[in-house]
Amino acid sequence: MYWRFSSSNYAVIGLLFLGLAALWGCQRGHSGETMAAEQEASLSILSKQMTIDSSLETSTFESIDACLHWGGEVGDESEERDAYQKECTHASLSESIHDWIIVPGERFGPITKETSESELIEIYGADVVRRVDLPVEESESLYDPGTVIFPDDPLRKVSIKWHDEENYRYPSELYVWGDSSLWKTDRGITLGTTVRELEVLNGKPFGLAGFGWDYGGTVLDSNGGVLVELGFEDPDKPSSDWLRRTLLLRVGPKPRPRKDVSMEEYQTITGDIRLLSDHPVLRKVTLKVHDIIVRYDKP
């Protein structure tokens, strides 16, 4: 049976409780201006979760109502069963197109590690699914076959690379970038989320790559916080790769010497080093998430 609650509604309710818990923790552990700032950051995150596409209430539920009508009128053996199944499928797809929630390691909206380009066309429509060549990281001349959905809409645009490049199936990497997006993780992280807001969600400062090189501003790990999807380091193997990273974030803008900070300060936050997000030099710059990347293993 279909209920008038989508998966995004449940995510919002869950995030509401998470936000209230974060506020309660802030009140117990901090005071004065620090507490007020963290409360404001938490409320800002929660407000973003309450922005739901109003068209979901019409297109999705009209289809679901029709599906329920068919379900009440026909049985499994009815000759009208195919029409019933088609209407139910339409209801499901109508809801999927309004799903902007990223669950790291599981799904990017309705897109999972087994999704194909043909399924994207079925969900979103052929007019907003386009094949493109996507640049290979660390290269200015190499490209991979890829697919972009909503290529002309910065708020909904997603770029997708494939494990099976010949058949355009099995996503290997999905990413969004820019100043803002409808896409957000199940914990409320989206383009434009500030470093301070990430710290509130994580419960503490997190690990960050130094600036001034290709991977500058990459979030390296949760530093023992609750955002384990950002990765963590094995304390018994300090030289090991960052583990369990199912979500890759980069923050910016890149601090500028002599503009944001002095040259001496800038040198302390540059290069292939690990910083904590509460580094005193980084506190001088308002850093925000500008890249969200989700990677899938081949199914």
Tokens 């509460």, residue? Answer: 278
Number of domains comprising the chain: 3
Mean pLDDT (the chain) is: 77
Same domain, yes or no, for 238 and 142? no
Same domain, yes or no, for 150 and 245? no
Mean pLDDT, residues 264-291 taken together = 95
Residue 261 lies in a domain: yes
Residue 97 lies in a domain: no
DSSP class of 235: T
- Which of the pair, 150 or 29, is modelled with greater confidence? 150
Residue 179 lies in a domain: no
- pLDDT, tens digit, for every residue of 195-216? 999 999 999 999 999 999 888 9
- pLDDT, tens digit, for every residue of 167-195? 999 999 999 999 999 999 999 999 999 99
Q: Report the distance separating Cα 187 and Cα 48, nearest Å.
A: 11
Cβ-contact 231, 222 below 8 angstroms: yes
Mean pLDDT, residues 109-115 taken together = 96
Same domain, yes or no, for 40 and 125? no
Q: Which domain holds residue 150?
A: 106-173
Same domain, yes or no, for 141 and 207? no
Q: Report the distance separating Cα 130 and Cα 206, nearest Å.
A: 36
Same domain, yes or no, for 126 and 200? no
Cβ-contact 22, 201 below 8 angstroms: yes
pTM assigned to the model: 0.69
Residue 100 lies in a domain: no
Residue 258 lies in a domain: yes
Residue 99 lies in a domain: no
Same domain, yes or no, for 159 and 244? no
Same domain, yes or no, for 169 and 192? no
Cα distances (Å, whole numbers) of residue 202 to 164, 199, 228, 290: 35, 5, 9, 18
- pLDDT, tens digit, for every residue of 47-70? 444 443 434 333 343 444 444 444
Residue 98 lies in a domain: no
Q: Report the distance separating Cα 50 and Cα 257, nearest Å.
A: 38
Same domain, yes or no, for 153 and 204? no
Residue 226 lies in a domain: yes
pLDDT above 80: residue 280: yes
Q: Among residues 146, 173, 200, which one ends one of the domains?
A: 173
- Band (4; pLDDT cuts 50, 70, 90): very low
Amino acid letter at 105?
A: G
Amino acid letter at 38?
A: E
Q: Report the distance separating Cα 147 and Cα 66, nearest Å.
A: 33
DSSP class of 112: -
Phi and psi angles of residue 276, each rounded to the nearest 5 degrees, phi first: -95, 145
